[in-house]
Structure 1
């Protein structure tokens, strides 16, 4: 066989392989190639003889002995063991218990039930009338309402007619008029002839400038003359009432100011909101300090207005000049500071009143409270003075500081005391309703 025969043979084998590949791709299964294109069998070749290898038998060896490793501890060398507690103490230091807590407002204890009985007004017999054939005679007590406040003769009239007589010893006022005079009105009934008069009381202010207040209410009393019958009349019952107000406000550093209405024995907060003319209103100003040095409280100013505006008119500044209670000096009342028994508490009393003009049925009191360290001395701007016995006296014995109450005490420049170191202020607002 020549070289071309070998080439043809090889070419035929390649074609057979390619055709076999085509058949697999198209039919998906292998099949015999066409007989005309089967490759010629190759001559057998003799492979080298390799000696057979004995079968592999794995040998079983004992596992190596590895020494146990100690547990890993950060920051220690290998082989060193220590107690976990001592390790924590070395890394973090001694652990201290947290004892500080955020400050909280203490809970005020509830006050026990107060045994309080409201005083009811009693009708007084302060007016008497006598009718004769052609005249009426009226007798009026100066203590018209039975409250101890004496009225002025110029403030009362009988139908526009003034007082015709006065008894200064018995404190009596007399009126006398003809039946057809002094604004009388006559009415005919089936069995009587009635002449009617009006006894009118209009109180004047104690002072038009410094004390524009009155401590009695106006009144109109009807007087009638029934012929064949005699009838005496008395004043109508007076029933004013006050709406109390007690306010607390927490200031910086847990300071708590309060201004409360107290009972007559000063032991409890007053549960009723009703007062009458002639009564004494008991106030207690206090400051409670928590986590703070002891403090002393003062009432710097107090002003009364008819509307909720401290700058409105009319107004009555009954505590002024840095703690001078001037009401007793201006009106002769029994208003005063009580002797101080505790630094954080100050008590004072005010005699009930109302405005002569602009009387809306309500009174609004605005006070300025101040507190200083109890260890600091008092001065002209921090005092509590009352006019008692024709002289000024201090609630804490600071009588020498009260001498300036007739003039000017301390600086009158306007300033915000809350910015002064060591002084805390609060301005409570009280509302009273006079019915």
Structure 2
């Protein structure tokens, strides 16, 4: 009996491996990159189920027994948009889900590259990220002008001046959400570089940079927004700088030492932006703020997070 079960398992595994190989060899992927959307047609030459295809988190726009078509905007389906040098790059993954729900068995990388428009600047490029939930949440991060009344007029900032950054989550279909900037680093590339970065926010929402500068969180106007005035730092002067952040949408009543926004005020100490009466939740900013389970935005789940990147921007040593 055990031998029969083992043989069945080996046969099933071999079938799945054969299917993966067949997908990579016997399927055609035609990609048409347009400025605002992408059209992708997947044509099967074997016996795969096209309904199991996903582009990011999107199902096919239309499908038949042998073909699946996706026609989607770059602001949907978990597309990742990066701006590097003179290029705007949109990336995603076309995946075929395992029939036995054991995981993804086939991945085809989707890349669309465009030249950066001459009049392009990060203020008009707002990275938008969709996440899973009871319905999709959309996160934004953007450079703003001094009083946050509109987009920044320049992406160049003099050393010591302030870089106003706005982070926001759209929560029209949810209960009120609290937007938190849990982690932020500065890097010289659109991708994180663990061996070359400047730590801005860490330790579960502590504005670490505020201990050595005048950086601070602004008081909120709405819970779903976070305003950061970041004092321009000496890291990577005159180079392109990208700000990488982990944004979290959370239950407004669930603030604790692991879900918070704290900044350091000279002569006063760490302050909890949303309620200074409970500054004690910021005490761990000097040590280590441990993660733990807590009440969530959606029943039975934790808060929803999304990685975001803003840039490039440039910090200059000479005042502009």
Give the shorter-chain TM-score range.
Answer: 0.5 to 0.7
Alignment of 1:24-39 (within 5 A): none
Query: 1:275 Cα deviation (Å)?
Result: 2.1
Query: 1:301 Cα deviation (Å)?
Result: 0.3
> Secondary structure in 2 aligned to 1:427?
strand
Structure 1 contact 298–369 (Cα < 8 Å) conserved:
yes
Q: How far apart in 2 are the matches of 1:278 and 1:337?
A: 16
Q: Could you say which residue in structure 1 is the equivalent of 2:205? A: 323
Q: How far apart in 2 are the matches of 1:254 and 1:308?
A: 25
Higher relative contact order, structure no. (Cα contacts within 8 Å, ≥ 6 residues apart):
2
> Secondary structure in 2 aligned to 1:411?
coil
List structure 1 segments (4+ residues) > 4 angstroms apart after TM superposition. 242-245
Alignment of 1:15-414 (within 5 A): 244=123, 245-252=125-132, 253-329=135-211, 331=212, 333-355=213-235, 361-374=239-252, 376-390=253-267, 391-397=269-275, 398-411=278-291
> Could you say if the C-alpha distance between residues 250 and 271 of structure 1 is closer, same or farther in structure 2, counting changes exceeding 3 Å?
farther
Q: How far apart in 1 are the matches of 2:220 and 2:282?
A: 15
Q: Could you say which residue in structure 1 is the equivalent of 2:14? A: none
Q: How far apart in 2 are the matches of 1:288 and 1:385?
A: 23
Q: How far apart in 1 are the matches of 2:225 and 2:155?
A: 22
Q: How far apart in 2 are the matches of 1:263 and 1:336?
A: 16
Structure number, greater radius of gyration: 1
Query: 1:243 Cα deviation (Å)?
Result: 5.2
Deviation per residue, 1:10-58 (Å, 9 max, x gap): xxxxxxxxxxxxxxxxxxxxxxxxxxxxxxxxxxxxxxxxxxxxxxxxx
CA RMSD, 1 decimal: 2.8
> Secondary structure in 2 aligned to 1:408?
coil
Deviation per residue, 1:305-324 (Å, 9 max, x gap): 22333134321111000000
Query: 1:424 Cα deviation (Å)?
Result: 0.7
Q: Could you say which residue in structure 1 is the equivalent of 2:310? A: 430
Q: How far apart in 1 are the matches of 2:157 and 2:238?
A: 17
Query: 1:348 Cα deviation (Å)?
Result: 1.0
Matched pairs, number: 186
Query: 1:342 Cα deviation (Å)?
Result: 1.7
Structure 1 contact 364–432 (Cα < 8 Å) conserved:
yes
Per the normalisation by structure 2, the TM-score is 0.53
Deviation per residue, 1:77-105 (Å, 9 max, x gap): xxxxxxxxxxxxxxxxxxxxxxxxxxxxx
Q: How far apart in 2 are the matches of 1:299 and 1:403?
A: 18
Q: How far apart in 1 are the matches of 2:234 and 2:240?
A: 9
Query: 1:370 Cα deviation (Å)?
Result: 0.2
Q: Could you say which residue in structure 2 is the equivalent of 1:187? A: none
> Could you say if the C-alpha distance between residues 275 and 360 of structure 1 is closer, same or farther in structure 2, counting changes exceeding 3 Å?
closer
Deviation per residue, 1:279-316 (Å, 9 max, x gap): 20001111111321111110000011223331343211
Q: How far apart in 2 are the matches of 1:243 and 1:341?
A: 24
Q: How far apart in 2 are the matches of 1:388 and 1:302?
A: 19
> Could you say if the C-alpha distance between residues 311 and 361 of structure 1 is closer, same or farther in structure 2, counting changes exceeding 3 Å?
closer
Structure 1 contact 258–286 (Cα < 8 Å) conserved:
yes
Q: How far apart in 2 are the matches of 1:373 and 1:411?
A: 16
Q: How far apart in 2 are the matches of 1:344 and 1:316?
A: 26
> Could you say if the C-alpha distance between residues 411 and 426 of structure 1 is closer, same or farther in structure 2, counting changes exceeding 3 Å?
same
> Secondary structure in 1 aligned to 2:156?
coil
